[in-house]
Structure 1
């Protein structure tokens, strides 16, 4: 897997959404944030996550979508249960994934982070295919952005405590970090 100078992953399905903007000038991309998402909650394999990131979600399609009307959100990448990788925003751009956030005293984590969404919930085990894709993607990210180390890979819950809980108790940090260290 390669990431080019424009922040595009060579083997990801490219879905160019418009929910991003420029990073502040001279920004050092130095944080990787792991999230989870499913729409409707707990349902996998639907088109709704893609619709949300692309700005085309029909909020009438499910009763739980009413709070999403007008929401503009994105992630750099989305990893489906099958392990398929979809990229919405190049890593050189600021995706809108973290919201109000702070890491090591730095606020506005969107400015300096990469956001990866896993199709899942806080309480449903992730698949081995997802961990494998996340490991391979993380290795490529760490190679392209060397200030992202294993100590700078966090959950959304870590940068927005009390507001966010993902990737949740179902995310096996030990397995993921062991996979990363075995290849490094």
Structure 2
């Protein structure tokens, strides 16, 4: 069954083109090679509104390609062919791109970002909350399966904002159950137990 995705376009200040050259004119492969999991920290409507709001200052820009709501709703805000601003000062397995003189290196140019709506008891700075719904894990697996097949991204290149954040300030997605995702990706024959 095809994915049912609601498409809402993020404000143009919150995403950009995937670069073919870095700040130093070194050639780049613009194709996505990593998927980063996030959480919204607030409800789905607030997350959508944040991405619809203009953020002309580089330090304020934020976006995800896709949001997954508690009920399993899938909202695409940035087309995967574009660069979302999901992880600022970041790297994946030692790899990042310098694209802006005013910012540190980032993996955004070769990443896809998906954010899970945080449960109501998660709108705080504590390390845990009640976790994500089965509907969210189902929808997340479908989104990831599409990206993994379309961009030939292996399961070993699915990571979290916590892992890629070089500043150590991000801890999302909190209370994420990798086993729930693995069960679903295994059922889709995209990973092995």
Task: Check whether TM > 0.5.
Answer: yes
2:78 paired residue number: 89
Matched, 1:103 2:92: yes
Normalising to structure 1: TM-score of the pair? Answer: 0.80
The 2-side partners of 1:126 and 1:156 are apart by: 16
| SS at structure 2 position matched to 1:16 | coil
2:7 paired residue number: 14
The 2-side partners of 1:106 and 1:56 are apart by: 29
Shift in Å at residue 72 of structure 1? 2.2
The 2-side partners of 1:96 and 1:76 are apart by: 9
Between the two proteins, the alignment pairs up a number of residues equal to 158
2:139 paired residue number: 133
Q: Deviation per CA, 1:133-184, whole angstroms, max 9, x where unpaired?
A: 00011111111010x111000010010152210012x110111112102211
Normalising to structure 2: TM-score of the pair? Answer: 0.76
Mind listing any 5+ residue stretches in structure 2 that lack a counterpart? 21-28, 97-105, 123-127
User: What is the alpha-carbon root mean square deviation over aligned residues?
Assistant: 1.9
Shift in Å at residue 56 of structure 1? 6.2
2:162 paired residue number: 157
1:66 paired residue number: none
